Structure 1
Amino acid sequence: MARYYIETYGCTSNRGESQAIERRLRQGGHYPVENPSRADVAILNTCTVVEKTERNMLRRATELDEQTPADLVVTGCMALAQGEAFEDADVDAEILHWDDVPEYVRNGECPTATPGTEVVLDDVTGILPIARGCLSDCSYCITKQATGTIDSPPVAGNVEKARELLDAGAREIRITGQDTGVYGLENGERKLPELLTRICELAGDFRVRVGMANPKGVYGMHEELADVFAAHDELYNFLHAPVQSGSDDVLTDMRRRHRTPEFKEIVAAFDDRLDYWTLATDFIVGFPTETEADFQQSMDLLRDVEPEKINVTRFSKRPGTDAAELDGLGGTIKKERSSAMTDLKMDVVGRAHDAMVGEEHTVLLTQDGTEDSLVGYDEAHRQVAIPEAESMGLELGDFVDVEITGHNTVYALGEPIRTVAKTA
């Protein structure tokens, strides 16, 4: 049996991969330690979304290589797409696919089950990766080189995993994947609505958040999907659909599979069926072919649909991608456009939270805050902090009715009215 140490960076899907690795390690009798110096093997699950992240991964791999007396395993998106970068940086590590990590740690030993083989949770949140890979071929994305095309396990298997998470104490299930909207599409079937319905029919008090779904994957089932959200209180009324640009010309150059009219139809379908919901989306500013007019179309789209959660990213060239071969716009232009969109973002998001003040919402507490505060999410997965929550006897996993008393632009502040359900 081995002592392992694991660090995870990047998206929720990566966290789900790490949980799957840990589950298999614990089922084999291995156990975690909190310091790499005490580990027989250290595992670094990497991200490579932008150039700054790449530098951070190489730095952290170098540090772990020095701190770990035995083996270092590097996995995740950067390992799979740019594994040679670690060798170039003189990092002594085994570069492995996620699925191969547990077998490497086992080193040919037979699994030895121990009492600690329960499903791995992040406090009261269970992460459920429903599929791996995507159907897109975006010109700027290096992650596809790591994850490949979509591979969707059967609905029944994912439902059983959700049941296991709930049985292990999860109060929140986060459904993840590189693109949850294309779940099942490699077989010509749109299976996400069925999966969500069946998970929501499981016993217990819990909520489900659906992870990132590209607009093209959602479009075509957007009305059916919005109906599922409207029918099940277990689902957070939350959709993360990254549009990336308001210009169809730029979307073409990005090789995004959707266009802005499709994105707007998706938003309209959810607006029609849900009185209170959150649209999360992403914009890339400064793509090499983005003109000033293209950028203004993105700004206009942001003003038009008013997403409640917005991620703004400056374009950065990723090695091995087609967009990396294009002449860039220069740092000054990208910085100016990013600053302008971020200012608009803060106005839009601030207005959304300002409108919440005085309303009552039911919040599921999922994480610790500062001092004795706790943080959770309301019905639309908007973040709400409750000051002095622990002093009031509240715990992670509690459902609490709150009155929204204020906000800090990107999250709300709540005052408890009553506890709806206590954690088990």
Structure 2
Amino acid sequence: MKKYHIITYGCQTNHSDSERISSVLEDMGYSFVEDKYNADLVVINSCSIRQSAVNRIYGQIENIKNGKVIVTGCILKRDGKKLSKKADLILDTKDLLAWPEIIDGLNKKDLDNYFKIKPKNQGGLTALIPIMTGCNNFCSYCVVPYTRGRELSRPLDDIIEEVRLANEKGNKEVWLLGQNVNSYKGKDSKGKEVNFCQLIKEVEKVPGNFWIRFTSSHPKDFSDELIEIIKGSEKITKYLHLPVQSGDDEILERMNRPYKISDYKKFVQKIKKELPDLTLSTDVIVGFPKETEEQFQKTADLFREIPYDMAYISKYSPRPGTPSFKLKDDISNVEKERRWTIINEILMKNNQQRNKFLINKTVEALIEKEKDGFIIGKTKEYKSIKVKGPRSLVGNFVKIKVNKSLSWGLEGDLTN
């Protein structure tokens, strides 16, 4: 039997794509192996968001001596041309239906579009379910609109069916994925347009005991209605990823982020008023071209004002083909590192304070694994937590009284 291995870089959407790639390859007769050096076919599902990620892909290709190598995922045309000299094939996930014919001369006519491909059940407790692909926002630093194309929303019924199947397989949480889930505009079986609020209400109706998470959201599209839906739901978790990117209006304008920082702050205040226990995470870029010390300090002040629990802090990396690539990358790597460190230190302090706030409170958690005598999981608010308990509780929802704040999360005791 032919063997395959998949290496996945990047966001949860890429990981969701990899599950569908696995499904197609296994339909073709391939079996998965853990060792990439023992595979006949190695698929590298790539990310071109930062140059460092592209460099890692080159390194992976160089290391694979025996199997054929396919590179897919978020690839800029410029990177694709260079990679094609080293990889055996460069394929687009949007053309996944044609992969069998390209790879083995097979033609899978029973699959009528990418979203119809059922993902391989990778086991575990979490189902990654794409509700859309592409992006229409064209942030000046971002390659996604060029690698994944314009927004395309998945039909409502297809999403609901995948959620139902995930629940039947034993998944205890579903992640609804999109570059900007709030701009979802799918259609129901009658051809009527459905927005994200309507979609998430329908997902809630699927029978079963499971949590609903979603990512990512764009500040310009997040609605008051969605806040009310989250507030009134037992299934939707109290976790929100709301990228800000910078605390300075001029930098936001150069990034083509169409909101003012004052509006972002007001919206966060509104969310926190309605959902005080909500865990808030964000994305931020330091060292964007022409970012002055004063402008950077506005970002630092934003982190002091808004107690983010988590953040993905990026040092600006110019990507060919994006508008910001034309700007001079005039902030040194040393200065970018300094700014990154300042934001990270503020974030760690905020996180520790937020975790201490939870001491003596009872939280609900989904237990994911057992390690070193502890069972470990995530709370409904997406906080890591560990507790002494039997391995048999892995895969179950439990109630835990928090008794300790750790640098990375929480510790507690099981309650009755």
| Shared fold per TM-score greater than 0.5 | yes
Q: Measured at CA, do residues 158 and 119 of structure 1 come closer, stay the same or move farther in structure 2, by a change above 3 Å?
A: same
1:206 alignment partner in structure 2: 210
Moved more, 100-109 or 357-366: 100-109
2:115 alignment partner in structure 1: none
1:83 alignment partner in structure 2: 80
Q: Measured at CA, do residues 190 and 118 of structure 1 come closer, stay the same or move farther in structure 2, by a change above 3 Å?
A: closer
1:274 alignment partner in structure 2: 275
What secondary structure does 2:221 align onto?
helix
| Counterpart residue type for residue 10 of structure 1 | G
Is the 1:140–1:323 Cα contact (8 Å) retained in structure 2?
yes
2:364 alignment partner in structure 1: 362
In the TM superposition, what is the alpha-carbon distance from 1:185 to its structure 2 partner?
8.3
1:166 correspondence with 2:167: yes
Residue ranges of structure 2 left out of the alignment (5+ in a row): 111-117
In the TM superposition, what is the alpha-carbon distance from 1:300 to its structure 2 partner?
1.7
For the residues of structure 1 that align with 2:17 and 2:99, how far apart are their CA atoms? 16
Is the 2:318–2:325 Cα contact (8 Å) retained in structure 1?
yes
What secondary structure does 1:82 align onto?
helix
- Matched ranges for 1:198-277 at <5 A: 198-218=202-222, 221=223, 223-277=224-278
Residue ranges of structure 1 left out of the alignment (5+ in a row): 419-424
Is the 1:207–1:234 Cα contact (8 Å) retained in structure 2?
yes
Is the 1:318–1:324 Cα contact (8 Å) retained in structure 2?
yes
Is the 1:21–1:99 Cα contact (8 Å) retained in structure 2?
no
Is the 1:134–1:149 Cα contact (8 Å) retained in structure 2?
yes
Q: Measured at CA, do residues 202 and 36 of structure 1 come closer, stay the same or move farther in structure 2, by a change above 3 Å?
A: same
Is the 1:41–1:72 Cα contact (8 Å) retained in structure 2?
yes
Moved more, 11-20 or 393-402: 393-402
In the TM superposition, what is the alpha-carbon distance from 1:237 to its structure 2 partner?
0.8
1:72 alignment partner in structure 2: 69
In the TM superposition, what is the alpha-carbon distance from 1:17 to its structure 2 partner?
0.8
Q: Measured at CA, do residues 37 and 339 of structure 1 come closer, stay the same or move farther in structure 2, by a change above 3 Å?
A: closer
Is the 2:43–2:71 Cα contact (8 Å) retained in structure 1?
yes
Q: Measured at CA, do residues 101 and 94 of structure 1 come closer, stay the same or move farther in structure 2, by a change above 3 Å?
A: farther
For the residues of structure 2 that align with 1:302 and 1:264, how far apart are their CA atoms? 11
1:93 correspondence with 2:97: no
In the TM superposition, what is the alpha-carbon distance from 1:34 to its structure 2 partner?
2.4
For the residues of structure 2 that align with 1:80 and 1:402, how far apart are their CA atoms? 50
2:99 alignment partner in structure 1: 104
- Matched ranges for 1:384-395 at <5 A: 384-386=385-387, 388-389=388-389, 392-395=390-393
For the residues of structure 2 that align with 1:43 and 1:228, how far apart are their CA atoms? 39
What per-residue deviation string (whole Å, max 9, x for no partner) do you get for residues 40-77 of structure 1? 3221101122222221121112223x142xx2111011
Q: Measured at CA, do residues 337 and 125 of structure 1 come closer, stay the same or move farther in structure 2, by a change above 3 Å?
A: same
1:409 alignment partner in structure 2: 407
For the residues of structure 2 that align with 1:80 and 1:180, how far apart are their CA atoms? 26
Moved more, 119-128 or 278-287: 119-128
Is the 1:193–1:225 Cα contact (8 Å) retained in structure 2?
yes
TM-score normalised by L of structure 1: 0.88
What per-residue deviation string (whole Å, max 9, x for no partner) do you get for residues 193-223 of structure 1? 11111111111111111111121232xx2x1
For the residues of structure 1 that align with 2:90 and 2:69, how far apart are their CA atoms? 9
Q: Measured at CA, do residues 104 and 78 of structure 1 come closer, stay the same or move farther in structure 2, by a change above 3 Å?
A: same
1:132 alignment partner in structure 2: 133
Is the 1:22–1:120 Cα contact (8 Å) retained in structure 2?
no
1:344 alignment partner in structure 2: 346
1:380 alignment partner in structure 2: 381
What per-residue deviation string (whole Å, max 9, x for no partner) do you get for residues 320-358 of structure 1? 222222222212321221111111111111111111122
Is the 2:370–2:391 Cα contact (8 Å) retained in structure 1?
no
In the TM superposition, what is the alpha-carbon distance from 1:79 to its structure 2 partner?
6.3
In the TM superposition, what is the alpha-carbon distance from 1:110 to its structure 2 partner?
5.5
Aligned length: 403
1:54 alignment partner in structure 2: 54
The percentage of counterpart residues that share the same residue type is: 25
Moved more, 342-351 or 92-101: 92-101
2:114 alignment partner in structure 1: none
What secondary structure does 1:239 align onto?
strand
Q: Measured at CA, do residues 215 and 185 of structure 1 come closer, stay the same or move farther in structure 2, by a change above 3 Å?
A: farther
What secondary structure does 1:320 align onto?
coil
TM-score normalised by L of structure 2: 0.90
CA RMSD of aligned residues (A): 2.5
Q: Measured at CA, do residues 8 and 363 of structure 1 come closer, stay the same or move farther in structure 2, by a change above 3 Å?
A: same
